[in-house]
Amino acid sequence: MSIEPDLSTIAALIGEPARAAILSALMGGQALPASELAYRAQITPQTASSHLHKLVEGGLLSMTTTGRHRYYRLKNAEVGHALEALAIIAPLPQRKLRHESAELQAMRFARTCYDHLAGSLGVAITEALLHQGILESKGDDFEVTPHGLQWLPTWGIEIETLHKSRRALARPCLDWSERRYHLAGVLGAMIANKLFERKWIVRVPEGRTIQLTEVGREQLRCELGINLASTPESEI
């Protein structure tokens, strides 16, 4: 009898194409209704219901009920981190249509990875925080420096709030499209939230791609020294 974790059970859950599509649709960190997930996976609502039940039972998704509607999201940050890690070794789809190539380019530029930022934008912000001495690498994690403790409140991030979370404070997450690290953990999530609140970034409907606004591009240049080219999509 094996005493190792049963990887085959999770692999079987993720390995079914429709369930993999559902999990990918939820990588943006938002809760979505069953009907939307059925549409994203290109399956019937009845088939989606069966898959969603298995994913909830398997501990990969959580479900909440609002009125007559059921909403699903990834169970926790660990599930999102595991899916992002699998994307590192997964082959990219062979896109041939022009609009599909544009969608992939936009996702490579900026997207959400559960509740934090990924893609070129996420990596650029992380590297700027390291370069300016706000973060530093310590073993397998990032740590907030004394300078960072002074800087974070200027962005409305309270240090006490960070330490109340049970999640890792600042963790490197290997980006599947950039092959470099972006910032995960509770600090990564809070920085992403601040950028959304300030309208520096906005969500693209029906997916986890995000757009950098003109204001956001200018403010990131001024505050963190980040010089990014325009987003693949038209700027806002």
Mean pLDDT, range 189-206, rounded to an integer: 93
**Distance (Å, rounded) from C-alpha 113 to C-alpha 84?**
7
Inform me whether the pLDDT recorded for 99 exceeds 70: no
Give the pLDDT confidence of 104-144 residue by residue, as tens digits: 888 899 999 888 999 999 999 999 999 999 999 988 889 99
Q: Would you list the domain boundaries of the chain?
A: 7-75, 95-224
151/159 Cα distance (integer angstroms)? 10
Q: How far is it, in rounded angstroms, from Cα 15 to Cα 109?
A: 27
pLDDT value at 47 more than 50: yes
Contact 233, 211 (CB under 8 A): yes
Asked if residues 134 and 235 have their Cβ atoms less than 8 Å apart, the reply is: no
Q: Please, what is the average pLDDT of the chain?
A: 88
Confidence of residue 235 (pLDDT cuts 50, 70, 90): very low
pLDDT at residue 40 greater than cutoff 70: yes
Q: Which residues contact 234 (CB under 8 A, 6 or more apart)?
A: none
The predicted structure's pLDDT at residue 100: 58
The structure tokens 């200027």 sit at 154
* Half-sphere exposure for 130 (CA within 13 Å, toward CB): 17
Residue 87's pLDDT is 86
Say which residue, 50 or 89, is predicted with more confidence. Answer: 50
Rounded to an integer, what distance in angstroms lies between the CA atom of residue 159 and that of residue 150?
9
- As a whole number, mean pLDDT of residues 54-58 equals 95
Prediction pTM value? 0.77
Chain centroid offset of residue 109 CA: 13
Q: What is the pLDDT of residue 94?
A: 65
pLDDT band with cut points at 50, 70 and 90 for residue 234: very low
Q: How far is residue 149's CA from residue 14's CA, in Å, rounded to a whole number? A: 39
Task: Give the CA-trace dihedral at 10, 13, 17, 23, to 10 degrees.
Answer: -80
In this prediction, residue 158 carries a pLDDT of 86
Chain segment 137-194, per-residue pLDDT in tens = 988 889 999 999 999 999 989 888 777 777 788 999 999 889 899 999 999 999 999 9
What whole-number percentage of the chain has pLDDT above 90? 61
| CATH of segment(s) 7-75 | 1.10.10.10
Give the whole-angstrom CA distance, residue 206 versus residue 195: 20
DSSP per residue, the chain:
---S--HHHHHHHHHSHHHHHHHHHGGGS--EEHHHHHHHHT--HHHHHHHHHHHHHTTSEEEEEETTEEEEEES-HHHHHHHHHHHHHSPPP---SHHHHHHHHHHHHSEEETTEEEHHHHHHHHHHHHHTTSEEEETTEEEE-HHHHHHGGGGT--HHHHHHSSS-SSEEEE-TTTSSEEEEHHHHHHHHHHHHHTTSEEEPSSSSBEEE-HHHHHHHHHHH----PPPSSPP-
**Contact of 143 with 135, CB cutoff 8 Å:** yes
